[in-house]
Amino acid sequence: MNLNNYHAPTQFVGKTAKYLASCPSTNSLAFQESLDMLLPEGYAWVAGHQTAGRGQRGNTWQAEPDQNLLLSYLLKPPHHLLENQFFLSKAVALGIIHGLQDWAKIHFGEKLPLSIKWPNDIYLEGKKLGGILIENNFQAGQWTFSIIGIGLNINQTNFADLRACSLKSWMKSPQPFDLLDIYQHISMGIEQKYLHFLEKKFYLLDEIYHSQLFRFQEWHSYQDKNHIFTGKILRVNDQGLLIMEKSSGEQAYEIKELSFIFKD
């Protein structure tokens, strides 16, 4: 595999990419280069290693060199869709799952137990497979571009966090998986769902998103600033708030206001 030849068979998402053996953060680099240069929509940055990878809410993203898929895409949503921007997040998450399922079907003939953990994680049978970080740019009051940062555990097998896994570790594969192959499927999946976003197919995105939502309509333990409680996820609304059913009634949570509690 030519590491400098990341191309996806798409209309534009991931069709052209820059590969870097190492960089601090693909999102930081992508954001700066998108400001400095006129780059086509769908352009991607792929790194073998990130020395300062970033996750949601200021978290760091830890990954072993050359074992995982670490990348960022440049997207240019039209400003009139700004009020629907959480649907972009839904579209990206669904695109990743769609791409991974297509990849699994081709190579293994079966679906993977993938889900989306609110607000931005990709889970594989209850363990974290990857995360998404979307950063938006505004100029003169207009939504000019979004950088879609994605980290997916592909071939790494050792995790300090016991709630993480990779495709290789979960599938118990003796051989590493081809990162370029998975990149191509991810790019195709994201492009399909992003086009749904551009076409304002919000109802379709919302319906599929909730069908893939981790712990949807199930009773589990959570913690907020007040207490540990048992609740049921009812939905994620158009603004990205998680609506939870509790013994005291319904409550909406923003990012950082709620923690998932796991038994194991």
Residue 68 covered by a domain: yes
Domain boundary residue among 194, 211, 228?
211
Q: Taking residues 128-137, what's their average pLDDT?
A: 96
Tell me: do 97 and 206 sit in the same domain: yes
Q: Is 14 left (phi over 0), alpha (psi -120 to 50) or beta?
A: left
Tell me: do 145 and 196 sit in the same domain: yes
- Residue 158 reports pLDDT greater than 50: yes
pLDDT confidence tier of residue 116, bands split at 50, 70 and 90: very high
Residue pair 86/119 in contact (Cβ under 8 Å)? The answer is no
- Residue 223 reports pLDDT greater than 80: yes
Domain that holds residue 115: 17-211
- Residue 103 reports pLDDT greater than 90: yes
Tell me: do 142 and 206 sit in the same domain: yes
* High-pLDDT (> 90) share of the chain, %: 87
Residue 9 covered by a domain: no
CATH number at residue 224: 2.30.30
Residue pair 238/252 in contact (Cβ under 8 Å)? The answer is no
Task: Give the pLDDT of residue 58.
Answer: 46
Tell me: do 205 and 231 sit in the same domain: no
Rounded CA-CA distance 19/51 in Å is 15
Q: Cα-flanking dihedrals φ and ψ of residue 202, to 5°?
A: -70, -40
Tell me: do 163 and 227 sit in the same domain: no
Tell me: do 247 and 204 sit in the same domain: no
| Per-residue model confidence as pLDDT tens digits over 226-254 | 999 999 999 999 999 999 999 999 999 99
Task: Give the pLDDT of residue 3.
Answer: 53
Tell me: do 95 and 139 sit in the same domain: yes
Tell me: do 68 and 129 sit in the same domain: yes
| Per-residue model confidence as pLDDT tens digits over 16-51 | 999 999 999 999 999 999 999 999 999 999 999 988
Helices 202-211 and 85-108: crossing angle in degrees, nearest 10, is 60
Q: Taking residues 186-196, what's their average pLDDT?
A: 98
Cα separation values, 185 from 74, 124, 178, 219, Å: 17, 17, 11, 34
Task: Give the pLDDT of residue 160.
Answer: 78
Rounded CA-CA distance 13/145 in Å is 14
Q: Taking residues 153-173, what's their average pLDDT?
A: 90
Query: In terms of C-beta density within 10 A (0-12 exposed, 13-18 middle, 19 or more buried), how is residue 45 classed?
Result: buried
> How many folded domains does the chain comprise?
2
* High-pLDDT (> 70) share of the chain, %: 94
Residue 154 covered by a domain: yes
pLDDT confidence tier of residue 2, bands split at 50, 70 and 90: very low
Residue 8 covered by a domain: no
CATH number at residue 142: 3.30.930.10
Q: 């609304």: which residue's tokens?
A: 237
Domain boundary residue among 211, 228, 247?
211
Residue 104 covered by a domain: yes
Residue 158 covered by a domain: yes
Task: Give the pLDDT of residue 60.
Answer: 47
DSSP string, 151-198: EE-SS----SSTTB--HHHHHT-SS---HHHHHHHHHHHHHHHHHHHH
Tell me: do 37 and 139 sit in the same domain: yes
Task: Give the pLDDT of residue 264.
Answer: 72
- Residue 1 reports pLDDT greater than 70: no
Q: Can you give the length of the chain in residues? A: 264
Tell me: do 223 and 256 sit in the same domain: yes
Task: Give the pLDDT of residue 57.
Answer: 42
Task: Give the pLDDT of residue 56.
Answer: 40
